[in-house]
Amino acid sequence: MSRLWAIYSLTRADLLERTRRYQYVATIAVTLLIGTLLVPAKNAGYETFLIDGYRGIYNSAWIGATFAILATMMLSLFAFYNVKSAVERDRTTRVGEILAATPMTRFDYALGKALSNFLVLGSMAAILFVVAIVMQFVRGESDAFNLEQIASPFALVVLPTIAMVAAIALLFEMIPWLCGSLGNVVYFFLWSWYLVWSFQSEAKHVPWWRDMLGGNLVMRQVWAAILQVDPRAKLNSVEIGAGGESARHLFTFHGFAFSGSDVAERLVWFPVALGVVAVTALLFDRFAKPARTAENTKRNAVVMRLQSAVARLTSPLVDALFIGDFGAIVLAELRLLLRGLSFWWYAVAAGLLIFQLFADAKVQSIAVGLAWIWPMLVWSQVGTREAVCATEQFIYPTLHPIRRQFVAQWLAGVLLALATAGGSLVHWAAAGNLGGIEGIVAGAILVPTLAIACGALSGTTRLFEIAYLVLWYIGPMNRTTFDFTQGAYAPEFMAASVVLFAMAVGARKLRLLHA
């Protein structure tokens, strides 16, 4: 009884603390908005779930399938970053030290936090569930409402996924090198790889351990239904998300028929999640190492020597370039950005610069893309450093904190972007390609602007890290219209930067008002 009471209290307190924050309200609002976008109108110009041009009419079964597959993907990626803060909160609020002195067991703590993660994710799933029901009536393509057809894929596909995400988020928090920004990056790539791996089956049955997200289960059943309508259909393309392709065929999906093994293969993820929680408990240090001590990195002696040598050599030049008060602030912000980076960081950045210089024009966007993913964790400090390092009380009362410090911080980020893409700038200049230079400049403005906007809005590094990773992956790496290194889209990205910067300033002004 006492242990259950302790676990219940742990879950409750964590949940109350999270759900009373304005970030949670914002998350719920965004979930609500996204939910409405998952069922686009016929003339919306996009589809969210298409298999080889087939889309089901919006009856309960199809809505259930669409929401299940999109919810499992969204909640396993974006919501992971939302919940990956349960232990960090106890470290940063320093409640952890009080908890460490209680008889609470490691497992009880891990289970309480995982349950809280699960309930937060569950609240988002619940919002999507309600929106799914409402959207069937809003679109009005089918009046036949069947609650079970919407609820069963949610229960079998989404709930096991969020149980696993809740446990994995906690596991990442317990592993020192995965608990911070690096863990966010690692998770993104692991998630992307796993998704591709689990979908590489052409809708054939994959072993349960390859289908944590339940996407294969949904695909198999939907594809079987399409084959019944058109036995000659070939699985050439699957579109999940907001794709521009239109539905070529509408069909009626009559719903899921889950077999006993389907159910078992999904439910097995609950004990697996519990196993992950148990592993997490073993790794839990009971706050023996305070967060700040754990984060402190040893300055690399080689870098320190190099930096002081460079500083001696470049001082007159720097003094001339950064004349006056504002220049000094920009320089200080630049130094803060680059502080503590290891010799290897500079070595890799230099290697990427050389790669840009000699890369073919066709692979320039990939070369710049690689050069701009490397400093991602440096940019993620922009707009958040004051909140993370608790220096707001020193910075905010200074003279014109937005016009001077905030802008200087952003400018330092832009300078870093230009410097890391210097090889490509030289390449395009030598080729006399003005468009190439425009693309780099627009990208160099966009990336730190996205960083400062995300940082100022959220107060954490996480929002930028996930937004930028997604943009980087679908942009420069896949050369879509989101490729912010391309000159062809420079005006659009400049306009986006202006909007983002206005949002950043607005968010910082609000923070100044309420600090």
Query: Which residues bind to another protein, rule: CB under 8 A?
Result: 1-2, 5-6, 8-10, 12-13, 16-17, 20-21, 89, 92-95, 97-104, 286-288, 293
Nearer to another protein, 83 or 445 (CB): 83
- Going from the C-alpha of 54 to that of each of 4, 223, 407, 473, the distances in angstroms are 49, 10, 49, 27
CB of 108 to another protein, least distance (A): 8
The one-character DSSP state at 144 is: -
CB of 101 to another protein, least distance (A): 4
**CA atoms of 321 and 148, how far apart (whole Å):** 68
Nearer to another protein, 92 or 146 (CB): 92
Closest alpha carbon to 116 in 32, 18, 6, 22: 18
CB of 286 to another protein, least distance (A): 7
Nearer to another protein, 94 or 339 (CB): 94
Nearer to another protein, 85 or 161 (CB): 85
**CA atoms of 6 and 107, how far apart (whole Å):** 11
Nearer to another protein, 52 or 392 (CB): 392
CB of 475 to another protein, least distance (A): 37
**CA atoms of 489 and 17, how far apart (whole Å):** 43
Give how far the C-alpha of residue 323 lies from the chain's centroid of Cα atoms, to the nearest Å: 39
**CA atoms of 419 and 411, how far apart (whole Å):** 12
∠ CA 88-92-98 to the nearest 5 degrees? Answer: 95
**CA atoms of 438 and 445, how far apart (whole Å):** 11
Nearer to another protein, 106 or 205 (CB): 106
CB of 302 to another protein, least distance (A): 20
Nearer to another protein, 23 or 201 (CB): 23
Supply the Cα-derived Rg of the chain in whole angstroms.
25
CB of 389 to another protein, least distance (A): 16
CB of 15 to another protein, least distance (A): 11
**CA atoms of 78 and 279, how far apart (whole Å):** 24
Nearer to another protein, 109 or 410 (CB): 109
CB of 173 to another protein, least distance (A): 17
Q: Give residue 203's region: left, alpha or beta (phi > 0; psi -120 to 50).
A: left
Beta strands in 260-415 (DSSP E): none
- Other beta carbons less than 10 A from residue 398's beta carbon: 10
CB of 102 to another protein, least distance (A): 4
CB of 74 to another protein, least distance (A): 26
Nearer to another protein, 12 or 479 (CB): 12
- Going from the C-alpha of 286 to that of each of 105, 172, 376, the distances in angstroms are 9, 15, 31
**CA atoms of 378 and 382, how far apart (whole Å):** 8
**CA atoms of 418 and 405, how far apart (whole Å):** 20
Nearer to another protein, 95 or 503 (CB): 95
Find all residues with CB under 8 Å of 492, minimum gap 6, and list them: none
Asked whether 81 and 466 are in contact (CB, 8 A), the reply is: yes
Residue 54: phi and psi, rounded to 5, are -90, 135
